[in-house]
Amino acid sequence: MHSVLSRISTKVGRNALSNFVRTHSHGGVPGENLPFDLTNRYKLTLWFILYAGSGFSAPYLICRHQLLKK
């Protein structure tokens, strides 16, 4: 009984996952599932500089703030 239920649930789950991937897939287009747009290279460059620059500069700004505190 247990093995029959596990086989049925596995088959139903596998079919549901396959249908979800088949209907909600982006077709394998590179960059289609990214949360930002790749078509405008200058906007992408600006956002990357802001994102990476804020992450790399944060420890230095925090250290500077601590050193300047009275």
Q: What pLDDT digit, counting tens, does each position of 8-23 carry?
A: 767 666 676 666 666 6
SS3 60: helix
C-alpha to C-alpha distance for 58 and 12, rounded to whole angstroms: 49
In a 10 Å sphere around its CB, with 0-12 CB exposed, 13-18 middle and 19+ buried, how is residue 44 labelled?
middle
Q: What pLDDT digit, counting tens, does each position of 2-58 carry?
A: 677 777 767 666 676 666 666 665 566 777 777 888 889 999 999 999 999 999 999
